[in-house]
Amino acid sequence: MTGASHALRKGESEREKRQTGQEGCLTENLALAFLPRRWSHVDPQPLDHPAHLEMLKPAFELRRGFSFENCQRNASLERVLPGLRIPQAHKTGTTIAGLVFRDGVILGADTRATNDSVVIDKSCEKIHFIAPKIYCCGAGVAADAEMTTRMAASNMELHSLSTGREPRVATVTRVIRQTLFRYRGHVGASLIVGGVDLTGPQLYSVHPHGSYSRLPFTALGSGQDAALAVLEDRFQPNMKRTISAKVWTAWRSQSSGPFEAEGGGNGK
């Protein structure tokens, strides 16, 4: 309360001085010119405070996008309180895989979401829609994969409305990997993008730092070794749909978690 009245008194005296035409006192209130008005009891600083000189710049710029305000606070909290359990980003604990067959692409993922060793969700959806004939599986940090695929889906929809053409798998991959590269791997999303466009069926795997490869079959996630073992054993290029489905069931039987599979292709 005393702070508020203090500010008011100073403001009043300042207005009087301004009317009398004295310039020197105006610098006192310049400190408030670009200060965000958080609380009413903000006190103006004495005239020779060094912060005044910085305040004369429009220092308060509204920043869009990510804000790094709390990073130092979090780092010092971690340092000072060793017993503190900082909330971690949930990883998906996933196996995702995809393969290309003659007429299209098959993508598969398990539906288990874990928190370390406890199963949280038994029917979590990991195959995300991007375009009518393009789907994307996400592994890595769950939230990052989800947001990246959702933004990619929105951007592809806008892009296809703007160009008037159907979206291509290579475009989706490029949009995703440019976003991931911009954040230097801090957005921890590993994705398998697969779909059919006018150039045929394609399958790409994208890693969190922004690298990608175009492959006939691939697997990502914590269970990728087992999945890759089965796929390497049984994959043939240019398979028919029935045979590739058998490869798929072989993979399913190998792993322990519940499954879902999407088939992409001309006859989807």
Cβ 147 to another protein shortest distance, Å: 8
Active site residue 94: yes
Number of residues that bind another protein (CB under 8 A): 52
Cβ 107 to another protein shortest distance, Å: 24
Site string for another protein, 7-26 (x = CB under 8 A): -------------------x
Site for another protein in 64-103 (CB under 8 A): 64-68, 71-73, 75-76, 80
Q: Which of 94, 149, 171, 218 is catalytic?
A: 94
Select from 35, 215, 226, 245 the one that contacts another protein (CB under 8 A).
Answer: 35
Cβ 213 to another protein shortest distance, Å: 25
Cβ 264 to another protein shortest distance, Å: 24
Of 50-58, 82-90, 231-239, 256-264: span binding another protein (CB under 8 A): 50-58
Burial (CB count within 10 angstroms: exposed 0-12, middle 13-18, buried 19+), residue 102: middle
Of 95-103, 108-116, 182-190, 229-237: span binding another protein (CB under 8 A): 182-190
Q: Which residue's entry shows tokens 């398990």? A: 110
**Under rule CB under 8 A, residue 62 binds another protein:** yes
Cβ 156 to another protein shortest distance, Å: 10
202 forms bridges with which residues in the sheet?
195
Q: Considering beta carbons, is residue 78 or 225 the nearer one to another protein?
A: 78
Per-residue three-class SS string for the chain = CHHHHHHHHHHHHHHHHHHCCCCCCHHHHHCCCCCCCCCCCCCCCCCCCCHHHHHCCCCCCCCCCCCCCCHHHHHHHHHHCCCCCCCCCCECCCEEEEEECCCEEEEEEECCEEECCEEEECCCCCEEEEECCEEEEEEEEHHHHHHHHHHHHHHHHHHHHHHCCCCCHHHHHHHHHHHHHHCCCCCCEEEEEEEEECCEEEEEEECCCCCEEECCEEEEECCHHHHHHHHHHHCCCCCCHHHHHHHHHHHHHHCCCCEEEEEEECCC
Site for another protein in 136-155 (CB under 8 A): 151, 154-155
Separation of alpha carbons 59 and 37, rounded Å: 14
Q: Considering beta carbons, is residue 64 or 85 the nearer one to another protein?
A: 64
Q: Which amino acids are annotated catalytic? A: 94
Residue ranges binding another protein (CB under 8 A): 3, 6, 26, 29-39, 41-46, 49-51, 54-55, 57, 59-60, 62-68, 71-73, 75-76, 80, 151, 154-155, 158-159, 162, 179, 182-184, 186
